[in-house]
Amino acid sequence: MKGKHTSKAVFSVNEYIEYKKKIGSVPKLKIPESVILCYSMRLAESIENLHKISEIRGVLGNIRKLYSIGSSNKIGMLASFGIGAPATVLHMEELLGWGAKRFVIIGTAGAITDKLRIGDIVVCTKGVRDEGTSHHYVKHSKYAFSSKKLTDLLYHSLNSKLLRVHKGPSRTIDAPYRETIDELKRYRSEGVLTVEMEASALFAVGQLRGIDTAAVFVISDILSEEKWRPKFRSKIVLENLLKAFVSVKDVLQSLPENEVSKMT
């Protein structure tokens, strides 16, 4: 439905939050201001083993896991909530309703350029909106953009650690088994570095709601005209996901309370 992003919704997330309060389903702790979105179970389990985290119960049900990282309750991590743009935005909206103000993806992505190799880190500047969710939120456009200030802080933090770090656009899609060779060639020629399933939707919601969003990917597979090279279980993928987590956590911890930078 053309122009639907301008129409009033039947009900809002605030109404949903009020319903949750009425039935007594409320968080046992304050929702952290910054939330890291974690899609990898290996990463979530490793973080749980290596870092001080505690589960925040009473907000998202028993399947999805929301954690507080460290003792300050300033940073949270959401895990076990599925993959893709719809799942990401659904949980993002609910956490916004409970008081979250900032979201950062830490995930894996496929490389569509020979500039990247397995384990490389990509800080995403913008996402091609080749998914359906973002178009319910903001006017149609080719790209949705991450928050520049937060993205730059993350890039500089990662780059200072002498990792193989890149910065550039990604393509977000809903159908990974329909990533075609023609599309791969087109987006590669436009300078797109990666393909994944969440970033552009996250950025679009961030633009609409006026909150900061960013995405950091570790290359887990490489796509080319000749073949697909999956390396999801490679040791360096998990190692660099953990390094990315530490950098993201440190940057988020350094931000002043209640600061939200301007969207670009």
The pLDDT value given to residue 259: 60
**Domains of the chain: which residue ranges?**
14-254
- What letter would DSSP give residue 137? T
The pLDDT value given to residue 61: 66
Please tell me the pTM assigned to this model.
0.94
At a CB cut-off of 8 Å and minimum separation 6, what does 90 contact? none
At a CB cut-off of 8 Å and minimum separation 6, what does 131 contact? 84, 85, 172, 173, 174, 197, 200, 201
Is 189:98 a contact under the CB 8 Å cutoff? no
Mean pLDDT, consecutive 10-residue stretches, the chain (264 aa), reads: 89 92 86 96 92 83 83 91 96 94 98 96 98 96 97 96 93 96 97 98 96 98 96 96 96 82 45
The pLDDT value given to residue 122: 98
The pLDDT value given to residue 62: 64
**What superfamily does domain 14-254 belong to in CATH?**
Nucleoside phosphorylase domain (3.40.50.1580)
